[in-house]
Amino acid sequence: MSGVADGTMTDAPLAEAAAVLQAGGVIGLPTETVYGLAANAADEQAVTSIYRIKGRPADHPLIVHVADALAAQQWAEWTPAAQRLADAFWPGPLTLVLRRRAGAPPFASAGQDTIALRVSSHPVFQRLMQALAPVGITGLAAPSANRFGRISPSRAAHVRSGLGSAVPLVLDGGPSEVGVESTIVDLSRGAPVLLRPGGISLQALADCLGQPVRAADSQATREADAPRVPGALPSHYAPSVPLRLLSAGALAALLQQRATALSAAQTPVIDGLPMGRIAVWRPEPPPEQPGLFWRCQPTEVALAARHLYDTLHQLDALGVDAILVEQPPAEPAWRAVQDRLQRAAAAG
């Protein structure tokens, strides 16, 4: 099912998607962050289908996507902080974790008394929510439309190649504009905590709230009272082959080791990893070597985020032994890209 380049779409595929969702089905849905695997969040069997298709553990909650802040208040105990953030960043790549409202459907919360909510800015999402309003669907559970732990999809083609016939209807809204998953802020425990970095910076959140926002490290996310959220596992977003995240100097040295092995007619095995065919994602082209495939890593953070998953999908499809990625700058603006690459590297 296709859209057009500017993300607009005729009424027919939207009507078909609404009918599938009303009947308890699951669809592929574009958002500005990544493509989602969407189902009616108030339908227990439909939400169960998401977990089954993704192979996602049942104790991992899903984000519920709603039309606006007013709809969010049907699902959560709303707070002044939530209103300030919603006014500033919705619709957009921000997810709020709040106490789930009494009586709100619990199926996307994975047994927790909190719920994660977001309003996507993608025009296809906005129009679909308008089509769903008359049939009473106010929230779509929509995790990334990929197998659990694998590279997230930023194009409709990624959904089709990754999930195949398990998701027969994929709305094509073009490539995702942001390219990495939403920023997640926990407002359920008093002081705000950043649980997952994304397209909205820590400083922008703090400026909006008028108070510091703590960034949860891996230890903080394991606290007993911290809500579980998507994408917080040490290993996630991974290609099918090992990914190595290296400083510029370490990557150059590794490539030199590989060149030396090749010149000696040896099969390159470095740190126990075969490197007969490798893919490299770094800003500058590496010296030419047999079996080396290079993609240019953007030096502007928004472009790097937008192209991250699409590039990893491309490189993973080459049938290489490993993907080598140059460490992005250690700057706050690069926090989300760093986070995704570190978790992808942890899988290998």
Greatest extent of the chain over all pairs of C-alpha atoms, in Å: 70
Classify residue 327 by its DSSP letter. P
Does residue 142 have a known ligand-binding role?
yes
Q: Binding residue per annotation — 65? A: yes
Q: Is 196 annotated as a binding residue?
A: yes
Are residues 241 and 321 in contact, defined by beta-carbon separation less than 8 angstroms? yes
Q: Is 237 annotated for ligand binding?
A: yes
Output the CA torsion 7→8→12→15 (10° steps).
70
Give residue 74's identity as a one-letter amino acid code.
Q
Is 114 annotated as ligand-binding? yes
Residue ranges with strand state E in 124-167: 140-141
10 carries a ligand binding annotation: no
Euclidean distance between the first and final Cα of the chain, in Å? 34
* SS3 label, residue 142: coil
d(CA 246, CA 254): 9
152 labelled binding-site residue: yes
Give the phi and the psi of residue 95 in degrees, each rounded to 5: -110, 135
218 is annotated as contributing to ligand binding:
no
Closest listed residue to residue 161, CA positions, set 46, 312, 296: 312
Between helices 156-163 and 301-316, what is the axis angle to 10°?
30
Q: What angle do CA 95, 336, 293 make, to 5 degrees?
A: 135
The CA distance from 272 to 253, in Å, is 16
Place of tokens 């009473």: 136
CA 332 to chain centroid: 19
From the annotation, which residues make up the binding site for ATP?
Answer: 56, 114, 118, 144, 152, 196, 237
From the annotation, which residues make up the binding site?
Answer: 33, 56, 65, 114, 118, 142, 144, 152, 182, 196, 237
